[in-house]
Amino acid sequence: MENSKDIFNEKPKSSLAKALDIVSTMASKPSGFIGLAILIFHIILAITSPWFAPYDYKAINPSLMLNAPSSEFWFGTDSLGRDVFTRTILGGRTALTITFFGSIIALLWGGLLGIFCGLVGGRIDDVVMRIVDAFLSIPWILAMLLIVSLLGTTTQVLIPALGFFYGKGIVRVARAATHDVIAKDFIVSAKARGHSNLSIIWNEILPNVRDAILVEGAMRWSWMLLGFSSLSFLGFGVSPPTPDWGLMISNARGLMSFAWWAVIAPIVGLSSLIIGINLTADAFAKALGIDRSTKAPV
């Protein structure tokens, strides 16, 4: 965190120039470049795929069941005769959208609560952290499955639920980052000037802990994608016939001894996206001077 301050405080730049600086630092290393390229490819694919998908993703055709890849069906067809290529290029849209908004919710509540706890300290901090610890010790998968099975698998349930369960780890990170700056002179003098807690959070603390929280949010996006795909795989995520990689893998798994293409295509899609986000998040952390590798994935 010490390094990141230097990057930002050397000379005043517009925020766009700063952002471009960070991106070019990220792309200067091979792993960061590959990560960014994969992520951008997936985002463009997710936005544009409905326009160039060759077939209808929900068109069931029993006469075309489990066809091997051919010039007509590039990735073959699945057990219901649907085109695997069409379903694969459309399969990341739901997951990307839900986890993107989920991460923003996680960042907002986790970051703000963490900063607040770090700032006020005392009894409130103790109580909140005990509750956060308790939530951390309940496996996310049990909690998510319970919520989804009782409230349904709609977007309105999934986004807040994922946002909540992936935000509790951010509370800790934001709180620790706040503790690092709280004793510094500029905070003490802002308090002495009589600024309100809200003003101190917004003007003094936030700019200094922003990097740590953003990096955490980027990592959490990839974990949330992993969690959401696991839910889909278990049949508690996207409802059919919407194409989704997790669900496609789970459906095609039973027949993979002779129709391997129907399971390989979504595996490549999902793995490449998660690896892309991970490499990007790592490069992002390095460009901001934050070392995440000694932290546990909680």
Partner 1 sequence: MFFLIFKRFVLGLITLFIVSLITFIGVEILPGDACTSYLEREAFGEALAACIKRLGLDVPAYERYLSWAFNVIQGDFGYSLSGQMQINEVLGPRIKNSLVLASAAIIIGIPLALILGIITALWRDRMPDIIISTVAIFSMTIPEFISATLLILIVAIWLEWLPGIVIVPTDVTFFELLPNIILPVIAIAMIMTAHMARMVRSSVIQVMASDYIQMAILKGVPYWKMVFKHVLPNALLPAINVVALTIAWLLGGVVVTEVVFNYPGLGRLVIESISNRDLPVVQALGIILASIYVSINFIADLLTLMLNPRLKTLQTRK
Q: Which residues bind partner 1 (CB under 8 A)?
A: 31, 130-131, 133-143, 145-147, 149-151, 222, 226-227, 229-230, 233-234, 246, 249-250, 253, 256-257, 260, 263, 267, 270-271, 274-275, 278-279, 291, 293-298
Nearer to partner 1, 147 or 200 (CB): 147
Whose Cβ is closer to partner 1: residue 187's or residue 276's? Answer: 276
Provide the CB-side half-sphere exposure for 129 (13 A, CA). 17
- Closer by beta carbon to partner 1, 178 or else 278: 278
Q: Give dist(CA 286, CA 298) in Å, integer.
A: 20
Tell the smallest beta-carbon distance from residue 247 to partner 1 (Å). Answer: 11
Write down the least CB distance from residue 176 to partner 1, Å. Answer: 14
Report residue 246 as tokens.
Answer: 């997790």
Comparing C-alpha atoms, which of 86, 92, 83, 76 is closest to residue 38? 92
To 10 degrees, what angle do helices 30-52 and 261-287 make? 130
Cβ atoms < 10 Å from Cβ of 267: 15
Closer CB to partner 1, 86 or 222, in the complex = 222
Q: Which two tokens stand for residue 38?
A: 């994969």
Q: Are 118 and 212 in contact (CB under 8 A)?
A: no
Q: How far is the CB of 194 from partner 1 (least distance, A)?
A: 37
Cβ at position 76, least distance to partner 1 in Å: 15
Nearest distance from C-beta of residue 143 to partner 1, angstroms: 7
Whether the CB-CB separation of 79 and 259 falls below 8 Å is answered with yes
CB of 137 to partner 1, least distance (A): 4
CB of 38 to partner 1, least distance (A): 11
Specify the residue, 70 or 271, whose C-beta has the smaller distance to partner 1: 271
CB of 85 to partner 1, least distance (A): 19
In the bound state with partner 1, the residue whose beta carbon lies nearer, of 59 and 298, is 298
User: Of the two residues 85 and 165, which places its CB atom closer to partner 1 in the complex?
Assistant: 165
- Between residues 83 and 282, which has the closer beta carbon with respect to partner 1? 282
